């Protein structure tokens, strides 16, 4: 029995209908932007393993730093104790985070980073004696799969069974091209109320919505409205952080900066699970009180895990190097050039690009996440040696920064080949669980 078959006897995979899904591809090794399967097949990881990998798989420098930390301190309770990796990582993050951030709270992943941000914002107003309950979010947003994060995310098939248990949120349209003024009007109407605690947003790029993009100018207007009406702002930079949009954080594109920032994914370069939520001094001071009930009662067993923090420090070392920054610019430029090449081709509805993120939306008459086209395109890419994870009829690239020009070209050529699949001139077979990856 091979690894994929053994997997099927014991594992329940995320976002996977286990009854109909193809057998998973067993990966045994990674190097740079390439993953190697049990059968010897190699794949370019064009989605950075769910957007987490910044510098390439099994990076020797990060591995060295993690190994060194494991020989010193693997973990310690973070209530009443501290350690150097956590302090040093917080110090370095606060130097590169949006202006005004002054404190860092560690968590385990992106969803929990969002949970902490929401709890900070809601309890902030309670601690001041002026409770506010409403949260504003974008209609098609995604902020995670824990209950608070689900509540501020789009009401969709992902969250449908839980709708009765989610708290009420005021949703506004995403201010995509042509809808900017409409969103601003919606936002202004909501902001005039006195019960709005916070606005949470994915800055410039809504990931799970299909890499939907909007401009810094319109987000700046929304943030200004929040400042005018004393509404806290939460930037969910879990996906956009650490260079993905061209800047270290997407918030750098705006003049008005958030009160709270959520981080995860690229925080450790894809090596360890770690999340963090930063805030400005105004929010932090609202929790300082002789009354212990005003404490932020939140924590995780693995809060500020030293090994994960060591991985984060190593990833930051690599991120600030000239070579990495040049690669971010190189990938951004090549994405832009490819977008220009294909934007007017048949069956391509729209091409969107911001920094190292490129999205290609195919015009196949559907836009559902559950479209059969999704599975067909996914299998087509795998058979061409590329890992792409379509969002319905949308293909996106968000690669490790070490990806070479030749590897990028292979990814681009794979996407070009998908045109024939969408048009029907190449009736690529649908994946069959009984034959794929035996």
Query: What is the spatial distance between Cα 362 and Cα 345, in angstroms, rounded to a whole number?
Result: 10
Give the 3-state secondary structure of residue 179: coil
For residues 54 and 59, what is the distance between their CA atoms, to the nearest angstrom?
A: 10
The Cα 257–Cα 68 span in angstroms is 37
Residue 27's CB: how many other CB atoms inside 10 A? Answer: 17
> Known catalytic residue: 201?
no
Please, which residues bridge with residue 34 across strands? 31, 44
Residue 292 annotated as catalytic: no
Give the strand pairing for 101-107 and 232-236. unpaired
* Active-site entry in 45, 108, 236, 364: 236
Q: Which residues have a Cβ under 8 Å from the Cβ of 178 and sit 6 or more positions away?
A: none
Total number of residues shown for the chain: 438
Q: How far is CA 52 from CA 238, 342, 410, 434, in A?
A: 9, 27, 21, 31
106 is an active site residue: no
Catalytic residue among 65, 132, 221, 265: 265
Looking at residue 354, the DSSP 8-state letter turns out to be E
Which of 106, 124, 142, 253 is catalytic? The answer is: 142
Beta bridge partners of 261: 235, 278
Contacts of 255 (CB under 8 A, 6+ apart): 220
Spatial CB neighbours of 88, under 8 Å, sequence gap ≥ 6:
309, 313
State which H helix or E strand residue 403 sits in: none
Q: CA-CA-CA-CA torsion for 337, 338, 339, 343, nearest 10 degrees?
A: 120
Give the C-alpha separation, 316 to 285, whole Å.
28
Report yes or no: 396 and 208 within 8 Å, Cβ to Cβ: no
Handedness of CA 189, 192, 194, 197 (dihedral sign): positive
Please give the helix or strand (H or E) that residue 69 lies within, else none: helix 60-70
The set of catalytic residues is 15, 142, 236, 265
């Amino acid at each position: 029995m091979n690894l994929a078959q053994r997997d099927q006897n014991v594992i329940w995979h995320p976002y996977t209908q286990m009854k109909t899904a193809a057998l998973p591809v067993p990966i045994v090794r990674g190097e740079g932007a390439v993953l190697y399967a049990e059968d010897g097949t190699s794949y370019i990881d064009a989605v950075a393993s769910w957007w987490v990998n910044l510098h390439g798989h099994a990076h020797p420098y990060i591995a060295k730093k993690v190994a060194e930390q494991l020989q010193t301190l693997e973990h310690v309770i973070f209530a009443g104790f501290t350690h150097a990796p956590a302090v040093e990582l917080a110090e370095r993050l606060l130097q590169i985070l949006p202006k005004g951030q002054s404190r860092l709270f560690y968590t385990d992943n992106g969803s929990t980073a969002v949970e902490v941000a929401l709890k900070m914002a809601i309890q902030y107003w309670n601690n001041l004696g002026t409770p506010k309950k409403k949260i504003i979010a974008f209609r098609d947003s995604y902020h995670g799969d824990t209950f608070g994060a689900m509540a501020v995310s789009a009401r969709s098939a992902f969250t449908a069974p839980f709708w009765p248990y989610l708290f009420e949120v005021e949703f506004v349209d995403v201010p995509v091209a042509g809808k900017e003024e409409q969103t601003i009007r919606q936002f202004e109407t909501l902001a005039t109320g006195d019960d709005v605690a916070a606005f949470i947003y994915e800055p410039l790029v809504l990931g799970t919505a299909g890499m939907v993009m909007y401009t810094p100018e319109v987000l700046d207007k929304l943030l200004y409205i929040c400042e005018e009406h004393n509404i806290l702002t939460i930037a969910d930079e879990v996906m956009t952080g650490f260079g993905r949009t061209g800047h270290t954080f997407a918030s750098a594109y705006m003049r008005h900066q958030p009160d709270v920032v959520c981080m995860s994914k690229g925080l450790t370069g894809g090596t360890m699970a770690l999340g963090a939520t930063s805030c400005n001094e105004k929010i932090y001071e609202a929790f300082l009180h002789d009354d212990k009930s005003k404490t932020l009662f939140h924590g995780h067993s693995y809060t500020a895990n030293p090994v994960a923090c060591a991985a984060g420090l190593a990833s930051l070392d690599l991120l600030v190097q000239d070579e990495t920054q040049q690669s971010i610019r190189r990938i951004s430029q090549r994405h832009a050039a490819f977008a220009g090449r294909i934007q007017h081709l048949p069956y391509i509805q729209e091409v969107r690009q911001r920094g190292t993120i490129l999205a290609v939306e195919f015009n196949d008459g559907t836009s559902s996440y559950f479209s059969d086209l999704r599975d067909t395109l996914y299998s087509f890419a795998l058979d061409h040696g590329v890992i792409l994870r379509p969002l319905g009829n949308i293909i996106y690239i968000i690669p490790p920064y070490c990806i070479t020009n030749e590897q990028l070209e292979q990814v681009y050529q794979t996407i070009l080949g998908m045109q024939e699949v969408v048009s029907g001139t190449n009736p690529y077979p649908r994946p069959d669980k009984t034959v794929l990856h035996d």
